[in-house]
Structure 1
Amino acid sequence: MNANPLALPTPDLVTALVRIGLILLCAFLFSRLAFLAIGRIEQAIRAGTQGFPIEREKRAKTLGQILRSVTWIAIVVVASLMAVRELGFDITPGLAAAGGFGIAAGLGAQTLVRDWVAGVLIIWDNQFAVGDVIRAAGASGKVEFLSLQHTELRDGDGALHFIPNSEIKVVTNLSRSWSQPTVRIPIDIGEDPKRALAVLRDMLQQFAQDPAVKPHLEGVPRVLGIEDVYAGYFTVLLQVKTNPGQRLEMMRELRIATLYRLRQEGISVRPSGAASGSA
């Protein structure tokens, strides 16, 4: 280093401290503006029309978290270098040394660079976000953390998997876009099949308007028709298109609504011989 800040004349030292204060103030203001812009980006993603609201919320949180981290690191590094320079240190040799060290470190840390590049591509392509359930690199679970360097998955047993992003070659996203589960309803063979189908179609129209489930549906559920006929009953298929994260919940709600409506209409879902099967 070429200068010693302690050797500066008092007026110069005061001036340097004032400039450092201004640098810190500008860094703070810039960080606030940057975070405000990132917040606007998050709001724009949430207000979009692509996919379900819960998917947009997860993408907004993931992208916002990473942008804030990168922005904060960049501001701290730049402000620190400027402050050091104001104290009288010549940072040019340090920058040159850092450049040389960076080249050497880059050659020796190619895996880390690949992780960062893969992380950028994952975020850019929106392959998955925090909160999604995925299968990747031989593990499956819920994404709890995503950075440029690695991804953390929590599996069904509670184990936490740390996966370098460069190891993620193929991703199966189980929470993306939509899911279309099918519910099978057994109807007593003695019931009129046409009447049963008409009742179920009307029930699905009302089900789609229920405020508790409507935000999670994409379109009106459908009656696919009679799938099989067995001794004592036939099976009717119902299909609902929903957010993958709400798949099981929507199936449960659909079964409850179906049973409630069939009871109201006096349509039995039990095979005729079920009550006397042991006789």
Structure 2
Amino acid sequence: MTDLDPLDLSDLDAPACPDGDNWCRTVLNMTHSRWLAQSADWLVAKPLTILFILFVAIVIRALARRLIDRLTRSNGDSKVPALLRPLRERAPQALGTLLSERRAQRAKTIGSVFKSITSVLVFGTAFMMILAELGMDLAPVLASAGILGVAIGFGAQNVVKDFLSGVFMMLEDQYGVGDVVDVGEASGTVEAVGLRITTMRDVNGTVWYVRNGEILRVGNSSQGFAVAVVDVPIGYGADVEQATDIIDRVATEVTEVEPVSNDVLEPPEVLGVERVSAAEGIMLRLTVKVRPGRQWAVQRALRARIVAAFEDASIQGPIMRGFPNGD
């Protein structure tokens, strides 16, 4: 028993707190407990440091998201969000209200990508700082995270492919809400554009959901301008020169009167004989440069008036088998 007394006395004489450990001295003065004072680093200092790291991360994330919201918000229908100003915009001004919706959705989608990236970077950094504060070796953690990321990326490569394709499609403004596009197996009017899925509606009302990663080529009928192409068949016995003059006169009359005149960008041009075939007779072609997306309405108006003018002038149409006057 007497052999242990010197050891006990030396422990009692040892200082409770090392020099410079203010937390230890503060807890010792408050509680007069050597054990609590010596554990102050784990009981007080580290929890407070971790809470401070989390608080700073939340504040930085909130400020970053607020900045992104300001960059993606437009002040009016004609205003381009600040986030889109450095990017190239292919959307025609003729889209009107759809242009504002397209800009808003494009900015919102790109903003959501930036928000996700910001959250991952901020909270990922905060997580690493917390692990370092707890005294963990970060090298094995980083190695494990790298292996896990590779495994997830390999298993979800289709999702990653769709996501990256959506990002580049948004940045390049290949198409947007209100555009009439052909993406291969589906075509129609774009109703929504996401980072993984593009939603389209065709002329029959069918909604198509197309994965961005599966789109290999895009035909956009709503960028810059469009061309209304009208092919008019006549019979072999008809006067080609007379039919051409009628098409030119009717096209000029139709394109100079509202509402068709609002969609026409240049005067109509009669190209003449396009082709000759046994089934269709002589095919005459007329073209008109119009606003994007308005070519079909102009084509219908021109066809209706040209057909009526041909009937009034007794222009002979093509004779087809199975129809009256056919063989």
TM-score computed with the length of structure 1 as normaliser: 0.61
CA distance in structure 2 between the partners assigned to 1:63 and 1:201 by the alignment:
42
Q: CA deviation at 1:219?
A: 1.6
Question: Is contact 2:73-2:104 (8 Å) kept?
Answer: no
Corresponding residue of 1:268: 312
Instruction: Tell me, yes or no, if structure 1 residue 146 matches structure 2 residue 188.
Output: no
Corresponding residue of 2:156: 109
Corresponding residue of 1:72: 115
Taking a change above 3 Å as real, the CA distance of residues 62 and 186 of structure 1, as seen in their structure-2 partners, is farther
Q: CA deviation at 1:80?
A: 4.6
The equivalent position to 2:94 in structure 1, one of 40, 53, 60, is: 53
**1:223-268 Cα distance to aligned partner (Å, 9 max, x none):** 345789xxxxx986533233462222112333466689x69xxx92
Highest CA radius of gyration, 1 or 2? 2
CA distance in structure 2 between the partners assigned to 1:153 and 1:190 by the alignment:
43
Once the two structures are superposed, the pairs formed by residues 104-183 of structure 1 within 5 Å of their partners are: 104-124=151-171, 126-130=173-177, 131-136=179-184, 138-168=185-215, 170-173=216-219, 175-177=221-223, 178-183=226-231
CA distance in structure 1 between the partners assigned to 2:196 and 2:173 by the alignment:
16
**1:9-38 Cα distance to aligned partner (Å, 9 max, x none):** 6xx799778756743652343223332487
SS at match of 1:171: coil
CA distance in structure 2 between the partners assigned to 1:5 and 1:161 by the alignment:
58
**1:163-183 Cα distance to aligned partner (Å, 9 max, x none):** 333323x43526255233115
Taking a change above 3 Å as real, the CA distance of residues 254 and 121 of structure 1, as seen in their structure-2 partners, is same
Question: Is contact 1:45-1:59 (8 Å) kept?
Answer: no
Kindly tell me the number of residue pairs found equivalent between the two proteins. Answer: 260
**1:206-226 Cα distance to aligned partner (Å, 9 max, x none):** 544445334533421123457
Once the two structures are superposed, the pairs formed by residues 249-268 of structure 1 within 5 Å of their partners are: 249-255=297-303, 268=312
Percent identity of equivalent pairs: 21
Corresponding residue of 1:231: none
Question: Is contact 1:34-1:71 (8 Å) kept?
Answer: no
Q: CA deviation at 1:5?
A: 8.6
Question: Is contact 1:205-1:221 (8 Å) kept?
Answer: yes
Corresponding residue of 2:68: 31
Q: Gaps spanning 5+ residues in structure 2: where?
A: 1-40, 75-79, 277-281, 317-323
Once the two structures are superposed, the pairs formed by residues 226-237 of structure 1 within 5 Å of their partners are: 237=285
Greater alpha carbon shift after TM alignment, 122-131 vs 102-111: 122-131
Question: Is contact 1:5-1:13 (8 Å) kept?
Answer: no
SS at match of 2:182: strand
Instruction: Tell me, yes or no, if structure 1 residue 40 matches structure 2 residue 82.
Output: yes
Residue 180 of structure 2 aligns to which amino acid in structure 1? D
SS at match of 1:151: strand
Q: CA deviation at 1:67?
A: 0.9
Once the two structures are superposed, the pairs formed by residues 74-113 of structure 1 within 5 Å of their partners are: 74-78=117-121, 80=123, 96=142, 97-113=144-160
Q: Which has the higher contact order (CA 8 A, sep 6+)?
A: 1
Q: CA deviation at 1:159?
A: 4.2
Taking a change above 3 Å as real, the CA distance of residues 44 and 66 of structure 1, as seen in their structure-2 partners, is same
TM-score computed with the length of structure 2 as normaliser: 0.54
Corresponding residue of 2:288: 240
Taking a change above 3 Å as real, the CA distance of residues 5 and 215 of structure 1, as seen in their structure-2 partners, is farther
CA distance in structure 2 between the partners assigned to 1:172 and 1:18 by the alignment:
46
Question: What's the RMSD between the two structures over aligned residues?
Answer: 5.3
Instruction: Tell me, yes or no, if structure 1 residue 63 matches structure 2 residue 106.
Output: yes
Residue 110 of structure 2 aligns to which amino acid in structure 1? L
Q: CA deviation at 1:102?
A: 1.4
Residue 150 of structure 2 aligns to which amino acid in structure 1? I
SS at match of 2:114: helix
Question: Is contact 2:182-2:219 (8 Å) kept?
Answer: yes
Question: Is contact 2:199-2:209 (8 Å) kept?
Answer: yes
Question: Is contact 1:114-1:166 (8 Å) kept?
Answer: yes
